Amino acid sequence: MRIAIDVRKLHDFGVGTYVRNLVRWLARLDQESEYVLLCRREDCEDIEQLGHNFRPMPDRSANYSIAEQFTVPLDLARARADLFHAPHYVLPALTPCRSIVTIHDCIHLMFPQYLPGRLAHTYARVAFWLAANRSARILTVSEASKRDILRFFSIPSDKVDVIYNAIDDRFSLPPDDAQMTRVRDRYQLHDRFLLYAGNVKPHKNVERLIDAFARLRQDGFGDIKLLITGSEVSRYATLRHAVHRYNLHKHVRFLGFLTTDTLATLYHLADAFVFPSLYEGFGLPPLEAMASGTPVLTSNVSSLPEVVDDAALLVDPYDPESIANGMRQILSDDAMRERLVSRGRTRAACFSWEESVKRVLTIYRQVAA
């Protein structure tokens, strides 16, 4: 069986985490199938090191471009692939073999206002339709995402398989004292702080988080800081405006891109992790924080209650006062904090990349057969 996988997003966040763990565990679990990985040229050497049955095939086309609609099918034809796995929702119309697609979420259909323009919206709608209707099977990462897919597309329920994501092992390992000291000193972390990690796109709801944080400080928590990670803050001026509207420029810090090791350390140092997102296909950051022993506050919508179960404090993400009340509770109720930490570690341990990729491999074999 010759399986082709599009890994051009290997170094991205979100889908990149999925792709990296997918190929890493396929290399451990399957030495019999032949894998052809459509990749960036600079990743060829790393892919060759995965194993004797892994072969890179460079592709220069940009993700979400017209070009990939032609280059990817040509790659598959040259590779003589029996099966193609598209690990995000773009499945070229000319795909010449049987295919599986992973649809992580339907955010571009549910929140089209967050796309850059009408052309991007049209491309997304067409790409989703092709992925849902032309693929042999669809993989998704939560029951909530499966419900969304079935709501938008008239396809059989048994065509969609829910296979959960999992976290990087590094989030479960406590950083040593030297690493903790380095991160504290580098970012001048001398006060208690709440942490948000993820991108800062509008559906992440960071503006309401800042609003809620202002209410928290006005209610006797003046010693607390808020740290927000994630690149491209400059693209969303409303976040800076919110900080200045409440005169929080000394208390809210935007840290930008962080390495995995630095982020793992910040999880351990934070008093709590706050993640009031409006929509997630799965939502890895709350699980990463749980594995790190950090109490978590997150939203009561989308896939998040399904993922965190009873191991996080759930709030209404559309109501800043609900978010603020949740932060007050999690900072002042020691019994609750201990309960969330204990339940969080247990919940995070329920998710395994090894078990998830075993299920993916089973589906590869079913579809190829």
Model-wide pTM > 0.85:
yes
- Asked if residue 203 lies in contact with residue 230, where contact means CB atoms within 8 angstroms, the answer is no
**Structural tokens at position 105:** 């979420």
What count of other Cβ atoms lies within 10 Å of the Cβ of residue 242?
A: 20
- Burial (0-12, 13-18, 19+ Cβ within 10 Å), 85: buried
Q: Taking the alpha carbons of 120, 108, 362, 158 in that order, is the dihedral positive or negative?
A: negative
Residues 247-254: contacts with CB under 8 Å, at least 24 apart? 248/210, 248/213, 248/214, 248/217, 251/213, 251/217, 251/224, 251/225, 251/226, 252/210, 252/213, 252/225, 252/226, 252/228, 253/187, 253/225, 253/226, 253/227, 253/228, 254/228, 254/229, 254/230
- pLDDT of 14 reads 83
DSSP state of 204: G
- pLDDT of 234 reads 64
Instruction: From 56, 50, 42, 49, select the one nearest 4 (Cα to Cα).
Output: 56
Which residues of the chain are modeled with pLDDT < 70? Answer: 234
- pLDDT of 235 reads 73
- Burial (0-12, 13-18, 19+ Cβ within 10 Å), 94: exposed
Alpha-helical (H) ranges within the chain are: 15-29, 44-48, 68-79, 107-110, 118-134, 143-152, 177-187, 206-218, 237-245, 260-269, 284-291, 304-308, 320-332, 334-348, 353-368
- pLDDT of 45 reads 95
- Asked if residue 141 lies in contact with residue 149, where contact means CB atoms within 8 angstroms, the answer is no
Instruction: From 307, 314, 299, 319, select the one nearest 348 (Cα to Cα).
Output: 307
For 55, what's the count of Cα atoms within 13 Å in the CB-facing half-sphere? 15
Cα distance between residue 120 and residue 63, in whole Å: 12
Domains recognised in the chain with CATH numbers: 2-166+352-368 (3.40.50.2000), 169-348 (3.40.50.2000)
- pLDDT of 287 reads 97
